[in-house]
Structure formats: structure tokens, C-alpha cells
Chains A and B, each alone.
Chain A
Amino acid sequence: MIGVAIFTFAIAHIIPGDPAAIQCGDKCGLIVDYTEDGEPITAYESNRIRLKMDDPVGVQFWRYVTDLAEGDWGDSLLYHRPVVDVIKDAAPITLEMSFLALFIAYPLGIILGIISAVRQDRMFDHVSRFFAIAFVSLPIFWFAMMLQLYLATGTEHGGICDPIFGTEGGCFPIYGRHDPSYTYPEDGFYSFYPAGGTGFHLVDSWFVTDEKLATMPEEWNSNWLLFKDTLVHLALPCAALGIASAGSLLRYMRASLLEVLNEDYVRTARAKGLSEFRVVVVHACRNALVPIVTILGFSIGGAIGGAVLTETVFAFNGMGRVAVTSLQYLDFVVIMGVTLITSVIFLLSNLIVDITYAIIDPRVRLE
């Protein structure tokens, strides 16, 4: 954690980009103030003084770390808000998407992996393995856009949904988190979902009060409809994000299960006369799942990285989009914040993985 803090700080400081100069733009030479001696102070110099950039690097770092510990992550130069607030708004969006994507990917990958290991070298195995590799090879952003094109548009743009399901303009909404008809009501979007909410709109949609719902348009006036709307909007991003994870999981699961199926205890279980289903699901799978759990920690990090691309395509204002925007405007305070928070999430998920490990594998608990 401290290492990451040092690292992000170093990145922001080794780079020659000068936040003071970026902030004042072409008006850096403007004289804004005078010192006590009557010397003029330009906008650039006043920025430097305000950002305390003339202190030694060591002092700056110490200030950065203590501020971090106190929960003050600095102010964004781009959003004109504290970084903590920016991240607080953005993080749930990304997390909601990545978690849901992994929630789809894991069962899918594991179940298909089991089937393809059990039916080793049959047709199903070959086909599923090929598709697993193919899905891993797809560029996420391109796949997301293809999903948009074929599942979220009408026939006139080549959508395939309308003739099959009789929908209008595709099965899924093309982008955004909500239907635009209620996203920006007169009293503003954020007053609709209370500020004290979790930020996960799948959860928040169940806590919208009845008075609020009464003000809504006809087709969105129940909690279930709001929940459904959020879910439908999440479907395509999650599919795009989850499909690659599912592919790689299938391959890991298959390899791991094949290894386990050659073990002695599986043979013993078979010799006992247990049914094949019981052998595979109860005896083999439990052991084959152990390495899969390890991957979980890494795949959360990977999903957050991939979210950068899906959020760009689907216009979600999550952390990835915040990172991209702030990078374009060289708002390094935000980038440092986003990097820190992603590494915190990563470390937390690895902690959870370690705990899960202890639950699944009793040997770890003994050590």
C-alpha cells in the first residue's frame, strides 16, 4: 500500500508536466498580485505557491501521505471537486459492472469447463475450447461495439433482435446507465437516487421512496421497473467484460479438473461405485476449484482495467472514464487517487481470496 503510494507519487513527480502551468493555461504571465516588497506575482507563480510546489520533494511526499491518511486526497483540477468525492461517485459504477460481469463469467466458465473436461476430446470439448480462445482474443472494446451494433439497434442498422423477438430498436439499450426519459427529471438526477445511497443502482432502486416514484413517468413508477431498467442497461457491458474472463476460466477449469481426475482419490471414489456425477461434482470439483479461486483476485483487477474500455464505449461515468478524462487533461491528482483506489480494491479482493482459500482448502488452515 505504501509502495503504491510512493509509486504514484513518483509517477506524478518525475513527469515534467507542470500542473501549475496547466492550470493557468495561456494566462500564466498575467500579474495577479504583488508581494509585500511590491514585486509582481504572476498567475503561474501564485499557482505554484498555492500548490506548495516549491517545497522539497521529501516534504511534499510526507504531506501527501499524511493527507492520504486523513482522507484528504487532494482537489481535482479538472472537476473542481475533492478527489474523494469524484471517486465516491465513480467507483460504485465500475464495481457494479465488474462484479456483475464476474458473477456471470464465473458460473459460465466453471460449468462449461467441467463439461468440457468430462467430455474430453469430444466434439463439445473442441468447440468450447476454440470459442474460449476466440473470446479471450477479442478486443473488449470492439466486441462491445459489435454487441451494440447487433443487439441494440433496429433492423435498419443491421440489428438482429427485431425480427426474432419483435422488439423495437434492439433488445438492449445502446448506452448509458438508465433510460433517458427519467434520468434527468426536472429536479435533477442525483436527487432521484438519494445521496446517502450505496451508489450501486441495482441496490438503490429498491430504496426509492413512493413519493419520488409518484413523480415518475408512467412506465417507471415502481421499484422493480427501475431495477429492471438498470439491469438491462448493464447487460451488454457485463457481457463484453465477462466473456473474456469466462473464456480464460473455462480453460483453467478444464486443465485443473483434468489434473484432478487423474488423482488416486478420484479412482477410489469411482471404485466405491459412486455415480459419475457425484464423483465429478463432489470429489473432483472441490479440489479443482482451489486454483480457480486464486485467479479470482487477479480477475477483479483485470475487470477493472477492462472497465476502462467498456465504460468508454457504453458512456458510463465510472472510474475508467474518470481516469481517461483526467489523463487527457493531465489531472494527476485524480489519477493518483484512481490508481490508489484500484490497488486497494485489488488488495482487498486478494485478502478475501485468501480467506476463501482457508474455507475451501483445509490444508491452508492448518499451516
Chain B
Amino acid sequence: MRSWDDGKEEREESLRRLRESLSQSRNDLSRSWKIYKRSLLAILGLMMVLSVSLIAIFADDIAVEHPYRNLQDTEDKWSIDYEPRRVEPFSEECDWHEQKIVTNPNSPLFSETVVAESDDKVGDDNRYYRDTLSAITIIKIEDSQGYDLNSSLLSIDPDNSSILVLSPDLYSNTSLYAGVWVTYEFDNEAMHHWWLPDGYDVCIFGTNDQGQDLFSKVLYGARVSLKIGITVAVLTVVIGTIVGSISGYFGGRVDEVIMRICDIFFAIPGLILAMAFVAAMNQVTSLTTPVWLAVLLPILVIGSYSNSFLSSTVPKHGQTDSHVMSKLVEYRWWILLLPALVFIFGWSPSNLFGWPEIFELSESKIWRLTAVVAIIALSGVVILADKRFINNSSFEGGMERLKDSFDWTNPWRYLTFRTLAVFISLALLFNFSGTEGGDIVIIKDFDRLWKVQAALIFTGWPGYARLIRGQVLYVKEMTFVEAARSVGAPSSRIMFRHILPNAWAPLLVAFTLDIGGTILSASGLSFIGLGAEPGTAEWGILISESRRYFLDSPWLMLYPGLAIAVTVLGFNLLGDGIRDVVDPKNRR
């Protein structure tokens, strides 16, 4: 094991470099900020984004109630973050009720007692009816002019708390002929199936048909939307950058193929493609072929990529004959072929050997076992690419090397072990995931919001690929890239150290603008019923749910829409501001 003091100078040197670059970047940042704050709109956008983010973070503390009140069996188990700290199922603040009592003695409706009842509502049979409510306390009585009255004028009948009793004073006071307004707190679950208009006490955005507080829902919606927006934007940027830089850097046939694929994506409107993708994913209860392809293809690609590297490390004939490992490496393709054969021909070998009878295995289990063996063997071949592993491959001093291999200070070793761990965990996942009709189920409860994200990533990456490709093509021709190539830097180094750092500026702008765009498309998908589950605190679904009532209770639609608009506007303004900073040509 290496001691901590070994690389002291190196560490100091790297620390010094880090400090230098930090101070440099601090100067750059302050300069950028100076340019940024010239624009009022940009500052406005930054403030909008910040406030929406703060709302998303502190939604638990601001919200009046649980966003899923009354929906105990909500199916959306998307994130643990949905468990808010407020656990009371009903917020007391919204449980007040306001009722007008007509005190005109000439009215046929008038009597000494008034039943505490809800506003008119439409029942399942489309008839209007009123629910009686059991009142707890009377909070306020106002006359028709809005002046407070003595609350002793009205009392709750002690025998039946759904009846309010008028005092004789109120009864005889004919000046109150237009009626009085009574605000009382009620204790009735039925009330929660009715709504309150906006601006009502603490529930400032009103409540919906389930009696749920819209304000809380909109707050929690910020969380969902920001999460979707940022995840999708980050992942599309990553995929787009990888594909685009490969396309731009290598050019030629690779470029041609990738760009044609992108053209196909551009030819289909993004929203329709995303819709088709989500609908398709809705059918996914078990992932078989697609997941196998998704897991195995990268492994094979890595394997074939390491081929050239492996060849360079294989010892020449007669040089290190005694090394067992070099033999292994020499015949690695046979080793690779064996699991591949096992994989291709399925479980036939295991059937031949009569394993199922011995171990009492079911058919799908054999399938998975075969797959696990294949994956582990493949990963073994990948690990063989370790240069030092091959160089030191003899049995002498094996124990020391084994100890050495657990040395965490060696990054390469660490990486290898992590890769191995990932593969083993994948294999375990395969083995222990549930079965459904003999298929392998990787992800149970494959949730709908994830599908939206997957769909938006799926449709979003070609745009970035094209952007980055253009940028890489532009930077590639510059002299410093040529210089790096002339000193023999490998492609990956040129790519990551020379080209990409000089191509990030438009990417940042596109990234910021794309967060807004993603939030828009995600809410659009939810609106047409292909996004979040009904009942989720997501802005699109809130609007779509309120469509039925939008003539009579427009507030249900107004506020979620405003929330979307403000968030997207914030990101757009922010993106414009950043563009002004990083791209001086476009400025003004």
C-alpha cells in the first residue's frame, strides 16, 4: 500500500494549478456578470428562475397541505420527494365555509333555523343538490354591506350540529333584509369534494373539485417540472455532445450516417414523435429485446474498441512465454466467442447437460443464468484490457499484486473494480428481478414521468448533435488543434481537452433555452393525457383536469398555466442573457 506522503510534491503542484485556474475563472466570472447585468430582462429572468427553484426546494414548508390529499391510493410513485413533511390529511385553513343566509321574513325559504349546507353541486346523476355540513364553530357574521355583526346572533344547534339557529334579534331586525354572510368552520368530508374560488383565505388559488388546495399543487408542480426540465436537458446535452462530436470529429461515413439519422428525427414533429414514444412505453411492462440490446451492444462495442489496445499489449512471440495471462489475452477472442455462442444458442448447452433436472431450474431461470454467465465472461474480457494486469501477469509475487490491486490510490485499478461491480450488480439485477410470463422484468412500476423524460430525450438529442457537430467542425480547423495533433495527442485527448472546451458556449445557451422548451413539451404531453398520471401535482395535468370546469372555475386553469409561463419565460430570459455574455457577436 502506498503511503500518503508519497506524492506530496505532485499534490502541491496540482493544488497550485487549481488555485491559479480558480482565480482566473473568478476574474472571468466577474467580467461575465458585469456584462450580464447590463440587461434588465436578463436579471428578471435570473430572478424568475431562482424564485421558481427556491419554491421547488422549499415547497414542503410553503405548501398549505399535502398535494395528494384525498388521493391516498395515488399510483405515482415517481419519487420519494413527494412525501411532504406535512402529514395532516386536511388543512384546517381551507375547511371554512361561507354561506349566505336570507333573512327576509317575507321569503318562503326563511325559517328560524338554517341548515348548514354546501353550495349547489352537480351529483353523479347530473342533478343539483346540497350537502348538509356539520358546523363546529361560527367564525364571523357579516351583513350585506360587509360590516361585522355580533356572533351571538347565530348559534349552532347543540342537538344537531348541521343546523344553525337564528336569534330572535336577527329575526326581527328587518334592516338586514338582504341576508347575512356566515363564515363557519365545518367538519364534513363531503365538503372536500367541492371547490372554493381563488383568493379564499389561505388557499389563495382556490381548491379543485376534490377540495384539494391548488396553491400547494402548483408549488409541488414546480418540483416535478424543474426535475423533468433539468434531467432531460442534461441527458440530451450529454448524448447530443457525444454523438455530435463523434460525427464532427471523425467526419466521412460516420458523419454521413449520423446526420441522416438526425434528418429522420427532424422530419417528424417532435411532439408527435414523443407522443408515439410515450404511448409505446406505456405498453412496456416487461423489457426483453430492447433491454438486451441496450445492455449487450455497449459491452460489445467496448470489447471491440479495446481490441486494438489489447493487441498492442500482447507480448511478442517468445518474449514472455511463461506468462499465463498473456496466453489468455492471446486467445481472448475465443474466450469472447464462448459466451457469445452460449448466448446465441440460448440454453441448449444447459439442457444438454441435464442441469435443469439437477438444480430444479425453471426455463426462464436458465435463460437468466446463461445471460449472467455471458455478461460476467464478457466483462472479464473487458477487464483483460488492463495494461498492468498483463505486464505483471506471472504467478510469482501473486499475493503482493493481489494486495496491490486493492490499492484505492490507483485510479485505474479503482475504475476496473468499479466496472466489475457494475456488471455484477447488473447480473444480480437480472437474476432477482421479477418475472412476468417468463420475461425478464428489469424495472417494476416503470413510471409515466420517466417515460415522458425518456421520450423527450429520445426526440431531443439530434438538435444538440447537429449544433455540436457544427461547432466541432469549426474548432477542428483551428491551429491549436493542429498543434495538438502534430505532437501525437490521441483523439480522445484532442476531443476533450482541446475541442470541447472551446465549443461549449452555444451549448450552454441552447441548454438553458432547452430547459424551458422541455417544460413546455412535458406539460403539453401531460395535457393530452400522455404524461403524468391524473391527480399528480404537475402543471400540465392540472390544466388538463381543469378543462372540464374551465368556464365556471377558471382559476383552476389560470394559475398552473401562469406557473408554466413564468418558469419558461425565466429560463428563456436567462438563456438570452447568457447568450449576450458568451457570444459577443450576437450582442445587441
Binary B-proximity of A1-45 (CB < 8 A = 1, otherwise 0):
001100100010011110000000000000000000000000000
B436 CB, min distance to chain A CBs, angstroms: 11
B49 CB, min distance to chain A CBs, angstroms: 12
Is A137 interfacial (CB 8 A cutoff)?
yes
Closest to B275 in A: A327
- Is A139 within 8 A of B283, CB to CB? no
B8 CB, min distance to chain A CBs, angstroms: 54
Is A287 interfacial (CB 8 A cutoff)?
no
When chains A and B are docked, how far (Å) is the Cα of A158 from the Cα of B558?
A: 12
- Is B551 within 8 A of A301, CB to CB? no
Is A312 interfacial (CB 8 A cutoff)?
yes
A128 CB, min distance to chain B CBs, angstroms: 12
Chain B residues with Cβ below 8 Å from A16 are 283-286, 288
Chain A residues with Cβ below 8 Å from B524 are 139-141, 308-309
- Is B550 within 8 A of A305, CB to CB? no
Chain B residues with Cβ below 8 Å from A14 are 280, 289-290
- Is A137 within 8 A of B572, CB to CB? yes
Chain A residues with Cβ below 8 Å from B269 are 301-302, 304-305, 342, 346
- Is A129 within 8 A of B564, CB to CB? no
Secondary structure at the A interface, as helix, strand, loop or mixed, is helix
Secondary structure at the B interface, as helix, strand, loop or mixed, is helix
- Is A157 within 8 A of B543, CB to CB? no
Most chain B beta-carbon contacts within 10 A, residue among A3, A141, A313, A335: A141
Is A134 interfacial (CB 8 A cutoff)?
yes
- Is A141 within 8 A of B543, CB to CB? yes
- Is A120 within 8 A of B527, CB to CB? no
Is B528 interfacial (CB 8 A cutoff)?
yes
Is A184 interfacial (CB 8 A cutoff)?
no
Closest to A6 in B: B264
- Determine the interface band of chain B, counting residues with CB < 8 A from chain A: 35 or more
Is B203 interfacial (CB 8 A cutoff)?
no
Known contacts A16-B283, A130-B41, A158-B554; A137/B264 CB under 8 A? no
A300 CB, min distance to chain B CBs, angstroms: 9
Task: Tell me which of B276, B569, B588 contacts A11 (CB under 8 A).
Answer: B276
When chains A and B are docked, how far (Å) is the Cα of A327 from the Cα of B275?
A: 8
Within 8 A of B (CB), among A138-174: 138-143, 145-146, 148-149, 153, 157-158
Closest to A14 in B: B290
When chains A and B are docked, how far (Å) is the Cα of A16 from the Cα of B437?
A: 13
Is B176 interfacial (CB 8 A cutoff)?
no
Task: Tell me which of B284, B286, B554, B569 contacts A157 (CB under 8 A).
Answer: B554
Chain A residues with Cβ below 8 Å from B285 are 16
Is B384 interfacial (CB 8 A cutoff)?
no
Known contacts A301-B269, A343-B268; A134/B569 CB under 8 A? yes
- Is B550 within 8 A of A149, CB to CB? yes
Chain B residues with Cβ below 8 Å from A339 are 268, 272-273, 276
Is A280 interfacial (CB 8 A cutoff)?
no
- Is B286 within 8 A of A145, CB to CB? no
Task: Tell me which of B277, B528, B568 contacts A137 (CB under 8 A).
Answer: B568
Most chain A beta-carbon contacts within 10 A, residue among B260, B267, B524: B267
- Is A323 within 8 A of B272, CB to CB? yes
When chains A and B are docked, how far (Å) is the Cα of A148 from the Cα of B543?
A: 14
Is A211 interfacial (CB 8 A cutoff)?
no
- Is B272 within 8 A of A308, CB to CB? yes
Task: Tell me which of A3, A11, A298, A320 contacts B263 (CB under 8 A).
Answer: A3
A-contacting residues of B (Cβ < 8 Å)? 41, 260-261, 263-264, 266-273, 275-277, 279-280, 283-286, 288-290, 516, 520, 523-524, 527-530, 540, 543, 547, 550-552, 554, 557-558, 560-561, 564-565, 568-569, 572-573, 576, 586, 588
B-contacting residues of A (Cβ < 8 Å)? 3-4, 7, 11, 14-17, 120-121, 126, 129-130, 133-134, 136-143, 145-146, 148-149, 153, 157-158, 255, 258, 298, 301-302, 304-306, 308-309, 312-313, 320, 323-324, 327-328, 330, 335, 338-339, 342-343, 346-347
